Amino acid sequence: MSTPRPFRIDVPQADLDDLAGRLARTRWPDELPGTGWSYGVNKDYLMELVEHWRTGYDWREHETRLNRVPQFTTEIDGQDIHFLHVRSPEPDATPLIITHGWPSTVYDFLDILGPLTDPRAYGGDPADAFHVVAPSVPGFAFSGPTRATGWGAGRVARAWAELMRRLGYERYGAQGGDFGSIVSPELGRIAPERVIGVHVNALATASTPIDPGELDKLSYDEREQARRNQSWWYGHSGYATQMSTRPQTLAYALNDSPAGQLAWNLEWFVDWDPTRTERTPVDRDTVLTNVTIFWLTATAGSAARLYLETASEAWGRRPPPSPVPTGVANFLGDRAIRGLAELSNTVVHWSRFPRGGHFASLQAPDLLVADVRDFFRSLRAR
């Protein structure tokens, strides 16, 4: 069971027909007039997207696109782990494991796999090539559902270390965004002798202080940013509070209503405020592909458990310092504060970009790839 086995997605047509039927029978709630998005996902927006999902979206197109990428499964620590594995044509390429967040899947990475693994074909320097491993987080999509408690960020990172060992990679880099920005640094703490560097975007652990004393360690501008971040997070953290305390209660609704699951996932994919036109929107078929994968694998509730499991093991305390060189990319809307990041990471690279958004691999893949290359280029030169 530990030997990686080839994997191919082949969803029965009956499952797609059932999805279409459920979408057609959606029981819509009321909505207060004139509230727009201020109370949550806008009803008119959602109804239009659900109708497109039912009548215009083609799952088979995206299933085929995923199946063009080499995929495998292997059992680690009692859990089936699904992963993409794309080797570079460059023999001296650097191994790199990349980790998605919530509510994402490995589908988010399809636009960056080519430039990362074969920069020569995209007008880049072949010395910047990577062998890319992109696992589905346990509990998510084809790595789910989880079958035991305890699958928080630390256990995921230990599974990643074992996966890279099985694939024969002795030294490698790590990259991640959103929840991946928690898992990837943790991998560096678990295996510092193997991880040459950690690159993150949407760094989730460095936007707000964990205790008031941390404010004293920041500059004046950083303290003001931290206070603004705290106010912002208060108005946007309901989803995280629910999933980190009572994910099973939520799972019944998400697993029974595809429209409900789409609404739950959608707020982050519209990047918090769809009226902010300076942010690059996420393509609606990409949103629907991620949600469809959750629906077809019945893993919306299992994915939500990651929040409770990680809260149980780590939230409420600052991670211990990591000796691994760390690079942080900040895209439009990201709220990481360097002074907080440096409390638990050896930050050697800090960049800001005027476009993109929380889902950088979807909203600014060119900038993300360039920053990953730039960060690891400096480590290769050492």
- Residue 273 designated active-site: no
Active-site choice (62, 128, 307, 334): 307
307 is catalytic: yes
Side-chain half-sphere exposure of 248, counting CA atoms within 13 A: 3
Q: One of 80, 82, 358, 371 is an active-site residue; which one?
A: 358
307, 202, 222, 223: which is closest to 264 by C-alpha? 307
Q: Read out DSSP for 59-115?
A: HHHHHHHHHTS-EEEEEETTEEEEEEEE--SSTTPEEEEEE--TT--GGGGHHHHHH
**Does residue 256 have an active-site annotation?**
no
Q: Which residues, in sequence order, are CB contacts of 111 under 8 Å at separation 6+?
A: 361, 362, 365
Burial classification of residue 166, based on how many CB atoms lie within 10 Å of its CB (0-12 exposed, 13-18 middle, 19 or more buried) = middle
Q: Which of 80, 118, 128, 178 is catalytic?
A: 178
The contacts of residue 64 (CB under 8 Å, 6+ apart) are none
Question: For residue 175, is it left (φ>0), alpha (ψ between -120 and 50) or beta?
Answer: beta
Would you name the residues annotated as active-site residues? Answer: 178, 307, 358
